[in-house]
Amino acid sequence: MGSSSVKLRVGSLFMNVGKSEKHDPDIRQTPHVNINPFTPDSLFLHTSDGQSRRRKRTYWNDSCGEDMEASDCELEDETIRPAKRITITESNMKSRYATEFHELEKIGSGEFGSVFKCVKRLDGCIYAIKRSKKPLAGSVDEQNALREVYAHAVLGQHSHVVRYYSAWAEDDHMLIQNEYCNGGSLADAISENYRNMRYFTEPELKDLLLQVARGLKYIHSMSLVHMDIKPSNIFISRTSVPSMTSEEGDDDDCSSDRIIFKIGDLGHVTRISSPQVEEGDSRFLANEVLQENYAHLPKADIFALALTVVCAAGAEPLPTNGDRWHEIRQGKLPKIPQVLSQEFLELLKVMISPDPEKRPSAVALVKHSVLLSAAKKSAEQLRIELNAEKFKNSLLQKELKKAQMAKAAAEERALFTDRMKTRSTSQNRTSRLIGKKMNRSVSLTIY
């Protein structure tokens, strides 16, 4: 391979290593590609003794978040070490945003930049495009932007994590194409509830806690932590679930909304081991993180999740500092203006315990007895959806059978018509043979 051309596809980057002239065949030119620090596969891209590995297969995620086939990125006797990291400026290209997307509206803004609701011109689907503030190249924000891209690419697809599609740079801006969540953020829902003088009910709060815990369980299982769980980073996807009806196909008025909570904004994600912690919102920050004790980072996500649920329950805005801030870090729940069961309050209280080791893990939360009713409800919801799909399939089978019967009847009518035409033609031919144009036979025999 020393004299051959090596083409390496990584995400949307295409790097070509040309022929080396007058070089030792064992010396390889190194392709300039970023190595994702969050994926375990990156650990196998080089060896400690510097020796190349034989036909090591590495799997990458492409720009749509789907796994490539092994043959697309199989390397023979090749060790990949980036000579330098690809910066935002180096990956600039002609405006893909204007070419591929039609901007519908601005749906949010924050520390990172702005988020726009866009329709992709090619497939006609709606996406959320996050566009960073300018300038970005060479700044600390660039590192955070790349960190979010890395985290999204590694976490792939999970029902409780906002789906990532692609990312690119143009004019010193980082753009990230994510799943569009039609229900907005949990922060938006809390604000709407506040204006209408209502709160999430206890069953709704348990469902929220259970779904986000499932998302955290997945993130933590990948040896990563989110580090910025809060209402504005939890997004809502509303889907209409049809119910069973006695009337064929008439389920317009018998549908219910299913709410799915998804974790987004992965700009603070870091590894559990050897973390590079970028502190998130101080209102949801666990005290041990502030003290730079990173021995139990997953429990910091649990702490923030408890306060997120407290906010959804209708509590007053959380303090950024001061006495109330310290009281919460001592294990005292903020005042909640609705009656919740004691067992649920105790769960929330242990989730904000000053001792992170006493807080339940995401795995324990998903199996917690207090949330069993919410889990049962989720299972029941899945059964409802399954029954609805079976009902749809039954209707489709009936319609298919009707169509087949109608087709068979039409074919039978066409065959009958052809037979009648054939019979009529045969009769006409016979009449010509024995009809009026033929001389009649007359007998003259006289007896």
The answer to whether the CB of 359 falls within 8 A of the CB of 353 is yes
Would you state the structure tokens that stand for residue 191, as one six-digit string? 């604000």
Q: Which pairs with CB-CB distance under 8 Å and at least 24 residues apart come from 390-394?
A: 391/242, 391/244, 391/245, 392/242
298 upstream amide cis, omega within 30 of 0: no
Q: Is 115 annotated as a binding residue?
A: yes
Q: Is 387 annotated as a binding residue?
A: no
Q: Is 113 annotated as a binding residue?
A: yes
CA angle 310, 229, 355 (to 5 degrees): 70
Q: Locate tokens 């196909």: which residue? A: 249
Q: Where are the alpha helices (DSSP H) in 112-185?
A: 140-155
Q: Is 110 annotated as a binding residue?
A: yes
Measured CA to CA in angstroms, residue 184 lies from 117, 233, 429 at distances of 11, 10, 80
End-to-end CA, the chain? 118
Q: Is 107 annotated as a binding residue?
A: yes
Measured CA to CA in angstroms, residue 445 lies from 15, 353, 442 at distances of 112, 132, 9
Q: Is 233 annotated as a binding residue?
A: yes
Among 228, 257, 355, 418, the active-site one is 228
What secondary structure letter does DSSP report for 143? Answer: H
Q: Is 130 annotated as a binding residue?
A: yes
Closest listed residue to residue 14, CA positions, set 83, 66, 87, 73 = 73
Would you state the structure tokens that stand for residue 194, as one six-digit string? 């506040």
Q: Is 111 annotated as a binding residue?
A: yes
Q: Is 441 annotated as a binding residue?
A: no
Q: Does 228 qualify as catalytic in the annotation?
A: yes
Closest listed residue to residue 394, CA positions, set 247, 240, 253 = 247
CB atoms within 10 A of CB 159: 13
Q: Is 435 annotated as a binding residue?
A: no
Known binding residues for ATP: 107-115, 130
Known binding residues for Mg(2+): 233, 265
Known binding residues: 107-115, 130, 233, 265
Q: Which residues are catalytic?
A: 228
